[in-house]
């Protein structure tokens, strides 16, 4: 968990650097706020859409799930 927090902090700092965010500035450079919006909202939306596309044809239905559960129960006996 600590590693995850460290990674998130480092990634946030990297993103702020890449979009040219100026801490303590009265006004941010042109485009910095728009780029932050794209990274923190557009990127998650894009990744979610990709995940939906990948999972759309993933063939798991109730019958298959019961078969897998039966195999797992048999293996654990």
DSSP letter string, 47-76 = HHHHHHHHHHT----HHHHHHHHHHHHHHT
Overall pTM > 0.85:
no
pLDDT at 41: 92
Asked whether the beta carbons of 54 and 42 are under 8 A apart, the reply is no
**Summary count for the chain: helices (H), strands (E):** 4, 0
pLDDT at 22: 86
Averaged pLDDT, groups of 10, the chain, 77 residues long: 88 89 86 89 93 88 92 91
Chain position carrying tokens 């485009």: 31
Task: Give pLDDT tens digits for 2-17.
Answer: 898 998 889 888 998 8
Chain position carrying tokens 């042109």: 30
pLDDT at 1: 76
pLDDT at 57: 83
């Amino acid at each position: 968990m600590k590693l995850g927090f460290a990674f998130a902090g480092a990634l946030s700092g990297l993103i702020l650097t890449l979009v040219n965010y100026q801490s303590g500035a009265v006004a941010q450079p042109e485009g910095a706020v728009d780029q932050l919006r794209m990274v923190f909202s557009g990127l998650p939306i894009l990744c979610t859409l990709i995940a939906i596309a990948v999972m759309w044809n993933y063939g798991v239905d109730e019958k298959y799930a019961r078969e897998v559960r039966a195999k797992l129960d048999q293996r654990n006996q």
